[in-house]
Structure 1
Amino acid sequence: MAMPMETTVADRLRAVLPDLPAAERRVARVLLNNYPVAGLETVARVAKKSGTSGPTVLRLATRLGMSGYSELQQALRDELEVRERSPLMAYGAQRPHDEDIQATAAALLGQAVTASVTAVERADFDHAVKLLVAPKARLFVTGGRFSGVAAEYLVAHLQQLRPGVSVVRSPDFVPTLLDLGRRDVVVAFDLRRYQADVVGFGRSAADRGAKVILITDPWMSPLSRQAEVVLSAEVSAPSPFDSLVPCMALVETLVAGIVDVLGDEPRRRIAAYDESWARQFGTIASHEAQEAPEQQEA
């Protein structure tokens, strides 16, 4: 089955960040901005990049519960190994034969959803919502082989709430990039094992001035360095395959935040959407209404 939830170095950094002294906070920002690669550099290089000192870097490692900087680096190397784990690698992990799979799934997924929604920093959540409701912004949403499902789910909601929302699939990355500007927002879903095309699209979008919202996992997509907002979701699952359930819960929470900000504004659009959908595709109710007179005549 997929790996159970673990506390990553990034989790620890985000947990202590609000209470850190200014110098240690600068070190933490350096480590998070290029996670996890920055933490694999020497103490001296991290201190230089953060404008602090070696002892400050070591104090932060101790504050994270590490015996020293070398233990922090080993934890990061272990994370790198975990984030490359494939379903095939996880397939050999057998659960006990007497385990109730339904009870296990309910507990594991429930815990993963709760952890994913509550662990998001409120400032990051509010920033993401602000970008998603910006009236002059066009939104372009993309994802990988599996995470693309979550991307399309977000778009299906957003298109009812506001104009200018599109799904972008890999064949359309290049023409989309040609027209991106500083008012545009790209939402990229990138979970392990991270996709080069999604990361490349996100980086190119950031280079063109677009704001990038990244939704990733606890081990962090390489795109996290270029993203303006990073939201992470657990992937723990009762099978060898990483779960999208926590990610979907995060999407639902974003939608709730958007609705809260927009208030009654989208009502007319939703009504027009429903009317157009019914006219174009029909509904069970409309089909039943059409069939009723025929049945009465018979």
Structure 2
Amino acid sequence: MTQQPETIAERLQGAFDSLTRAERQLADSLLQNYPVSGLASITQVAKAAEVSTPTVVRMVQKLGFSGFPDFQNALRRELEAQISDPISKHDTWVESAPDAHILNRFTDAVMGNIRQTLTQIDPEQFDRACEMLAETDHSVMVVGGRITRALADYFFMHMQVARPGVTHIQSMSNAWVHYLLEIKPGDIVVIFDVRRYENSTLRMAKMAREKGARIILFTDQWRSPVHEFADVTFCGRITVPSAWDSSATLMLIIEAMIAQVQEHTWDITRQRMEELEGMFDRTRFFRKFT
């Protein structure tokens, strides 16, 4: 199975424990506005992190690069991948497409994405997010973007059954600001945002954070700028042999999360499910075979 290379952000996170204090300070600085923060001159990068230029050189070498120019070349390739549109992504895949059938190539890519994503997920962070979502004394708001609104809708539908106080902020609505009126300190906002990150989503995250909301972010391997305001971030790898990105990895994470939240809230969830089924029966919503 072909394994996709790690992003520099993933390398930084993986190597964090082995870095010196100054190198950790540099890593934090680079991740704050990643990947743009690493594209300035070496002097500017060092100054922004309040470290020396030799510290920058040493850390990029620890990450496996021959030097700072090599490090920046890798960052530029990542940035190009982030902003590439569906047509250019398709052309890239066509030029390098293997002879194997698309079903095999696509499955291979998705399984590789899942494997690599799972190595990056901290189980304690996952458990923390589930516990946050199970706090029924706090409301939950869910929002997605142009593409990820399908994931947001799926997550919302299940979470709404599991617990009360869940709202779906319609991503295409120009009235999303109105939802901010309802946010109270401690409430949770679940945000889905992948590359070609949406400006309105970033603004909403910032404003929600200012009101005391806690944010759970689902994003890609390059990390949405919303990461700056998130309490918990899940990065799913999304690249596949297609003009479109894959949602399979993020879907895996949210389905596992739905299952865990239901375990935490099962007494409430069971009662809500029974009541919902009773209403379905009364409305004859589903066809029954007797």
| TM-score (norm: length of structure 2) | 0.88
Verify the 8 A CA contact 2:163 2:268 in the aligned structure 1: no
- For the residues of structure 2 that align with 1:37 and 1:224, how far apart are their CA atoms? 14
- Residue 227 in structure 1 maps to residue 237 in structure 2: no
In structure 2, the partner of 1:179 is 182
Offset at residue 45 of structure 1 (A): 4.4
- Residue 11 in structure 1 maps to residue 14 in structure 2: no
Verify the 8 A CA contact 1:155 1:165 in the aligned structure 2: yes
Name the Cα RMSD after superposition: 2.3
CA offset digits 1:275-297 (Å, max 9, x no partner): 33333353232xx34xxxxxxxx
CA offset digits 1:156-210 (Å, max 9, x no partner): 1111211111110142311111232222111111111212222222222122221
Q: What is the correspondence of 1:123-162 to structure 2 with a 5 Å cutoff?
A: 123-162=124-163
Offset at residue 79 of structure 1 (A): 1.1
Q: Which amino acid aligns with 2:150?
A: V
What secondary structure is seen at the aligned counterpart in 2 of 1:230? Answer: strand
- For the residues of structure 2 that align with 1:176 and 1:155, how far apart are their CA atoms? 15
Verify the 8 A CA contact 1:117 1:249 in the aligned structure 2: no
- Residue 195 in structure 1 maps to residue 198 in structure 2: yes
In structure 2, the partner of 1:212 is 215
In structure 2, the partner of 1:296 is none
Verify the 8 A CA contact 2:160 2:166 in the aligned structure 1: yes
- Count of residues in Structure 1 that have an aligned counterpart in Structure 2: 284
Offset at residue 96 of structure 1 (A): 4.7
Q: Which amino acid aligns with 1:203?
A: K
- Residue 274 in structure 1 maps to residue 274 in structure 2: no
Verify the 8 A CA contact 2:125 2:232 in the aligned structure 1: yes
Q: What is the correspondence of 1:163-174 to structure 2 with a 5 Å cutoff?
A: 163-170=164-171, 171=173, 172-174=175-177
- Residue 245 in structure 1 maps to residue 253 in structure 2: no
Give the 3 Å change call, closer, same or farther, for CA 41–100 of structure 1 in structure 2: same
Q: Which has more radius of gyration?
A: 1
In structure 1, the partner of 2:100 is 99
What secondary structure is seen at the aligned counterpart in 2 of 1:213? Answer: strand
Verify the 8 A CA contact 2:37 2:45 in the aligned structure 1: yes
Q: Which has the higher contact order (CA 8 A, sep 6+)?
A: 1
Verify the 8 A CA contact 2:23 2:55 in the aligned structure 1: yes
In structure 2, the partner of 1:294 is none
- For the residues of structure 2 that align with 1:51 and 1:130, how far apart are their CA atoms? 37
Give the 3 Å change call, closer, same or farther, for CA 48–209 of structure 1 in structure 2: farther
In structure 2, the partner of 1:70 is 69
Identity %, equivalent residues? 32
Q: Which runs of 5+ in 2 are unaligned?
A: none
In structure 2, the partner of 1:79 is 78
Verify the 8 A CA contact 1:83 1:219 in the aligned structure 2: yes
In structure 2, the partner of 1:41 is 40
In structure 2, the partner of 1:54 is 53
Q: Runs ≥4 in structure 1, deviation > 6 angstroms?
A: none
Verify the 8 A CA contact 2:163 2:265 in the aligned structure 1: no
- For the residues of structure 1 that align with 2:135 and 2:45, how far apart are their CA atoms? 36
